[in-house]
Amino acid sequence: MTAWPLARALSPLPEESLPGLLLRLAYRTERSPARIARLCGLIHRQNRLPGEYLFSLPADRIRPTERSPARIARLCGLIHRQNRLPGEYLFSLPADRIRPFASAARLNAQEANALTLSPFAAVYPPLASARTDGSRNTTAVRKSWAASMFSRYCAACLSGDGSPVQTLYGGPWKLRWHLPVSYACLTHRTLLSHTCPNCGGTPNRPTNTERQGLITHRTTTGLHPAQCRRLLPDGHGAPAAPCAARLDHDRRAEPLSEADMALMFALQHRIDQHLMPVRSDADAGHVGSDPSFFPDLIIAAHLIRLSWPDSAPYTTSTSMADLIDGHVSSAVTPRRTPEPARRTPTVWDAPEVPAECAAVLLAADNLLGREERDDAGMTERVRPLAASAFSRHPANTGAALRRMHVSPSMARALLGRAQGFYRAGGHRHARQSLPSRESCFQIGHVPALLPQEWLSAHFGDLLSHWTHLTDWRMRHLRRVATLKLAEMSGGGTWPDCAKALDIPWNTAQQSLTVIRQELNSRELWPEFERSVESVAIHMDQHTDRVHYGRRRELLSTWQIPADDWTELCCGLPRFRQGATSPSRDTATVLIWTQVTQGDHLHSPSLGAMRESSCSTEGLVGSINQLRTPVNRKGSKRELLLRIDTYSHLLAAACDRTAASLQAGSPPPQSGEFAARGCRTKGSPSHYFSSGEFLPPRRRR
């Protein structure tokens, strides 16, 4: 499409929007904005079959005929050509429209794109995720706080800066006025306006449709860019005429105190700093480079409204609380007789009234902790309001809030918790995998069962209040403690943590059921969390952590070699060849259990037997026989001591192999599992097939 340059053009003003430039061009050329948009290649024809014809046909459209559906609709006069100036051009211009528009308006492509909100998308995340096209309305855009099709305005800015051009055609309609987070003009130290002082209408808001155009009543001519374009019906049957009131003459008194206004202006200044585009890599560290600033602020604003009046303590004054209360009341309680030109607001929409928006955002900033943004304190403040909001509103409220890419501390605060763990049900979102605390250790450093020495060192106070403590309950406690450590370091719900630790889902569920019953009956959950936190602090402070995940990976298919098993049994009386007698498989499971600190019932050997439908009764009985305290004597005790020594050497070999793999060394070959050439006094000269040497043979 070719567009001829306009005979009289205008240079864009700083921060001017596309509709603002079209209004100034139309006023200068004494044409309608629709005509200017057509000359610039922005208006295109559409054949439209209106959906409202389902309810009733206009009298001038009733005409019988019969043809194909599309042809019938056209011949019947139901389809009419529509010259549409799409509202989505405010967000970005299509590639096939940039060149004609830039040519007609005598601009370059960069200047044309600067008239849209696209430059803000890099620093204002809601804009980047907004989806607007010809087949979608702007409801989702309003709910996500991306932008508003109507524009707030500063009367002093619209009146111009005194230059000849701005004296004749007015000042700029600024792009940032379309952003919900812009509520004040710092240049003139005043709150923005959003309605006409004469008719009370909102600039550029259509009356009966969600598919907004870029300019309302675009075919009306002769209006100054700063005049209200809303049509007012004449009570005597005459055609509706524009309101035509001058918005740049609007000088309204601010109803708030100087202290409240100062706080609003300070927050607006910080918001404007974050709206500054990043022009180069050197600017990447400036104040506006925090990607979670706006998502956190918007989520906090939602929580302020959804939990009101529980969030009232975060307001700065009674006037601010009254503004939020009025906004929440209008958003939650539908209007019984809504005005034709106004829609009923919802709890998700950004407040339209600038003073109400400022009050909500200021309370949200207080909830977040203002400039310091302390993560721990923010989580403590946000979590009660989140729980209140979720309990009062539909179940998908939490899921809707978690879809935004907020900061880790905000994401943790929004996640539901039940008895110390993230909830396993509900909306499965990637943010649920966030760790529940800032930890130095990783989930790979967590064993499947808490080591006995850790339990003794950190759970003494808890165990002192626990009566009838059996080995069975002790194992459940050790397993639940590791699930909590996995949540702290790797995040996710308890099924996610169980999967990461190679714990069967049903086993983890059973352990949680048993421990919850025990702790709830004695009100020991706080003590349990303190004990686990003590373990986490211990793991944070020690840098020589064992990577149990790598050990489990290396031993997933390992079995003690037959020669090594023979050496372990050398010199010991022959065991009975019964079903529960120690065997090579018994030693494999016991060694795996000690090296990985796992549950012997979940060892790879037993897992392989279950998959092949083989009975595990004999092997489990053999393991239990060796581990029973009354049987730890004689040759069985000696065998357990040798297995323990063997396990320590194999664990060291696993750790050295893991370190070499992390350093980029090639994986060891058969016979070279650990440090090759390592020998000790009394050890055999050969290596077993996995690569590690046998422990020293004990003398009797």
What is the rounded CA–CA span in Å between residue 634 and residue 618? 22
Looking at the domain assignment, is residue 428 inside a domain? no
Looking at the domain assignment, is residue 678 inside a domain? no
What is the rounded CA–CA span in Å between residue 677 and residue 541? 33
Whether residues 195 and 226 fall in one domain = yes
Whether residues 183 and 36 fall in one domain = yes
DSSP letter, residue 209: -
3-state helix, strand, coil split of the chain in percent (to 5) is: 50, 5, 45
Instruction: Provide the terminal-to-terminal Cα distance of the chain, rounded to the nearest Å.
Output: 98
Q: How many domains does the chain have?
A: 4
Looking at the domain assignment, is residue 419 inside a domain? no
Whether residues 452 and 399 fall in one domain = no
Closest among 631, 385, 403 to 639, alpha carbons compared = 631
Whether residues 506 and 595 fall in one domain = no
Q: What is the CA radius of gyration of the chain?
A: 36
Looking at the domain assignment, is residue 409 inside a domain? yes
How high is the pLDDT of residue 436?
Answer: 77
Whether residues 35 and 159 fall in one domain = yes
Structure tokens at 492: 């996710």
- 600 with 623: CB under 8 angstroms? yes
Q: Can you give the residue range of the structural domain that contains 217?
A: 18-43+85-249
What is the rounded CA–CA span in Å between residue 690 and residue 671? 6
Last residue of a domain, one of 493, 519, 545: 545
What is the rounded CA–CA span in Å between residue 209 and residue 207? 6
The total of other beta-carbon atoms located within 10 Å of residue 570's CB is 11
What is the rounded CA–CA span in Å between residue 351 and residue 353? 6
Whether residues 109 and 233 fall in one domain = yes
Instruction: Return averaged pLDDT per consecutive 10 residues of the chain, 700 residues in all.
Output: 78 94 93 90 64 60 52 48 74 90 92 93 86 55 81 94 92 94 95 91 66 81 92 75 88 83 96 80 55 91 92 93 91 47 64 94 90 68 86 69 76 72 51 74 94 93 85 92 91 87 93 90 88 94 91 91 88 74 91 94 92 90 84 84 92 81 48 33 34 39
Alpha helices in 448-554 (DSSP H): 452-458, 460-464, 471-490, 494-500, 505-522, 525-541, 548-554
How high is the pLDDT of residue 504?
Answer: 94
Which CA distances in Å does 63 have to 73, 76, 77, 80, 519?
A: 10, 6, 8, 14, 78
Whether residues 136 and 159 fall in one domain = yes
Looking at the domain assignment, is residue 699 inside a domain? no
Cβ contacts of 71 within 8 Å, gap of 6 or more: none
pTM over 0.75, yes/no: no
Structure tokens at 491: 């995040």
Looking at the domain assignment, is residue 598 inside a domain? yes
Whether residues 532 and 587 fall in one domain = no
Whether residues 602 and 520 fall in one domain = no
Whether residues 587 and 516 fall in one domain = no
Last residue of a domain, one of 486, 516, 545: 545
Closest among 555, 652, 658, 654 to 598, alpha carbons compared = 555
- 294 with 273: CB under 8 angstroms? no
How high is the pLDDT of residue 431?
Answer: 47
How high is the pLDDT of residue 660?
Answer: 64
What is the rounded CA–CA span in Å between residue 445 and residue 547? 4
Whether residues 136 and 232 fall in one domain = yes
Looking at the domain assignment, is residue 138 inside a domain? yes
Cβ contacts of 358 within 8 Å, gap of 6 or more: 183, 184, 191, 264, 267, 268, 323
How high is the pLDDT of residue 426?
Answer: 40
Alpha helices in 581-616 (DSSP H): 584-596, 604-611
What is the rounded CA–CA span in Å between residue 164 and residue 168? 6
How high is the pLDDT of residue 525?
Answer: 87
- 544 with 574: CB under 8 angstroms? no
DSSP H/E element including 47: strand 44-48
How high is the pLDDT of residue 686?
Answer: 36
Stated length of the chain: 700
How high is the pLDDT of residue 337?
Answer: 41
DSSP H/E element including 469: none
- Residue 277 corresponds to which amino acid? P
Closest among 410, 361, 360, 407 to 381, alpha carbons compared = 410
Whether residues 530 and 559 fall in one domain = no
- Residue 557 corresponds to which amino acid? T
How high is the pLDDT of residue 150?
Answer: 86
DSSP H/E element including 129: helix 125-129
What is the rounded CA–CA span in Å between residue 68 and residue 164? 59
Last residue of a domain, one of 489, 520, 545: 545
Looking at the domain assignment, is residue 685 inside a domain? no
